[in-house]
Structure 1
Amino acid sequence: MTPLKQYIIVSYTPWRTTPSRTQQLAARLRDGEVLFFQPSRPGHSHKDPGRQVRPNVTVYALPPVRPLPENAELLLRHAGKRLAAFIRRTALRHNFRDVVLWTTQPQHVYLLDHLNHRGLVYDCDTDWSDLPPQWEGDLAAAADVVFTASPGLLDRLSPCNANIALIPNGVNYPMFSRPSLEVPPALRDIRGPVMGWVGRIDAGLDLSPVEYAALEHPEWTFVLVGKVGDHPRLSRLERLENVRFLGRKPAVEVPDYVSRFDVCLDLRRREQDFSDVLPRRIYEYLSTGKPIVTLLAPDQVEEFPDVIYGAHSPADYCRLCERALAEDPTWVAPRRRDYGAAAAWSRRAQTVQRILGAIGL
Structure 2
Amino acid sequence: MNFVITSRQAWEEKNLGSNIRDMARSLSNEHQVLFINDPLDWSSKFAKDSPRVQQRSALIEHNKGERLVQAEKNLWVLSPQSQLASINWLPDGVVYDQMNRYNGKLIAAEIKLALKKLKWGSFVLLNDNDMLQGFYLKEFLKPLAAVYYLRDNFLAVDYWKRHGERLEPKLMGKVDLVASNSIYLANQAARYNPNSVYVGQGCDLSLFDPAKVGEVPADMAVLPKPIVGYAGALTGLRLDVDLIETVAIRRPEWQIVLIGSTDDSFQKERLEAVPNIKFLGSKPSHQIPAYVAGMDVLINPQILNEVTIGNYPRKIDEYLAMGKPVVALKTETMSLFEKHVYLAETPEQFITGIDNALNGKQLSTPEERIAFALEHTWENSLGLMINAIEQLIAAQPQTA
Q: Does 1:92 align with 2:126?
A: no
Q: Does 1:59 align with 2:77?
A: yes
Tell me which residue corresponds to 2:296: 262
SS in structure 2 of the partner of residue 146 of structure 1? strand
SS in structure 2 of the partner of residue 83 of structure 1? helix
Q: Does 1:213 align with 2:247?
A: yes
**1:37 Cα shift?**
0.8
Distance 1:273 1:145 in 2: 22
Q: TM-score, normalised by structure 2?
A: 0.80
Distance 1:88 1:53 in 2: 19
Tell me which residue corresponds to 2:126: 102
User: 1:270 and 1:14, CA in 2 relative to 1: closer, same or farther beyond 3 A?
Assistant: farther
What are the superposed Cα offsets for residues 113-143 of structure 1, whole Å, 9 maximum, x if unpaired? 2213222222111224434455333433333
Distance 1:137 1:215 in 2: 44
What are the superposed Cα offsets for residues 207-255 of structure 1, whole Å, 9 maximum, x if unpaired? 2222222233333222211112335642242244432212222222211
- Unaligned 5+ segments in structure 2 are 41-51, 156-160, 395-400
Residue 210 of structure 1 aligns with an amino acid whose one-letter code is I
Q: Does 1:44 align with 2:21?
A: no
Tell me which residue corresponds to 1:7: 3
Residue 35 of structure 2 aligns with an amino acid whose one-letter code is F
Contact 2:32 2:74 in 1 (8 A): yes
Distance 1:350 1:302 in 2: 22
User: 1:305 and 1:57, CA in 2 relative to 1: closer, same or farther beyond 3 A?
Assistant: same
2:106 is aligned, of 82, 100, 110, to: 82
RMSD: 2.7
Q: TM-score, normalised by structure 1?
A: 0.87
1:157 is aligned, of 189, 209, 216, to: 189
Tell me which residue corresponds to 1:22: 20
SS in structure 2 of the partner of residue 196 of structure 1? strand
SS in structure 2 of the partner of residue 59 of structure 1? strand
* Segment of structure 1 superposing worse, 325-334 or 195-204: 325-334
Q: How many residues matched?
A: 356
SS in structure 1 of the partner of residue 56 of structure 2? coil
Distance 1:186 1:137 in 2: 48
Contact 1:209 1:318 in 2 (8 A): no
User: 1:247 and 1:232, CA in 2 relative to 1: closer, same or farther beyond 3 A?
Assistant: closer
Distance 2:324 2:144 in 1: 45
Q: What is the percent sequence identity of the aligned residues?
A: 24
Tell me which residue corresponds to 1:338: 371
Tell me which residue corresponds to 2:138: 112
User: 1:271 and 1:67, CA in 2 relative to 1: closer, same or farther beyond 3 A?
Assistant: farther
Tell me which residue corresponds to 1:33: 32
* Segment of structure 1 superposing worse, 26-35 or 346-355: 346-355
Residue 370 of structure 2 aligns with an amino acid whose one-letter code is R
**1:10 Cα shift?**
0.3
Distance 1:132 1:36 in 2: 23
**Structure 1 residues 190-339: aligned runs within 5 Å:** 190-204=223-237, 205-230=239-264, 233-269=267-303, 271-272=305-306, 275-296=309-330, 302-328=335-361, 331-339=364-372
User: 1:212 and 1:51, CA in 2 relative to 1: closer, same or farther beyond 3 A?
Assistant: farther
Tell me which residue corresponds to 2:150: 124
Runs (4 or more) in structure 1 with deviation over 6 Å come to none
* Segment of structure 1 superposing worse, 241-250 or 128-137: 128-137
Q: Does 1:175 align with 2:207?
A: yes
Distance 1:330 1:180 in 2: 25
Distance 1:147 1:158 in 2: 10
User: 1:247 and 1:50, CA in 2 relative to 1: closer, same or farther beyond 3 A?
Assistant: farther
Contact 2:153 2:306 in 1 (8 A): no
Residue 49 of structure 1 aligns with an amino acid whose one-letter code is R
* Segment of structure 1 superposing worse, 251-260 or 237-246: 237-246
Residue 181 of structure 2 aligns with an amino acid whose one-letter code is A
- Unaligned 5+ segments in structure 1 are none
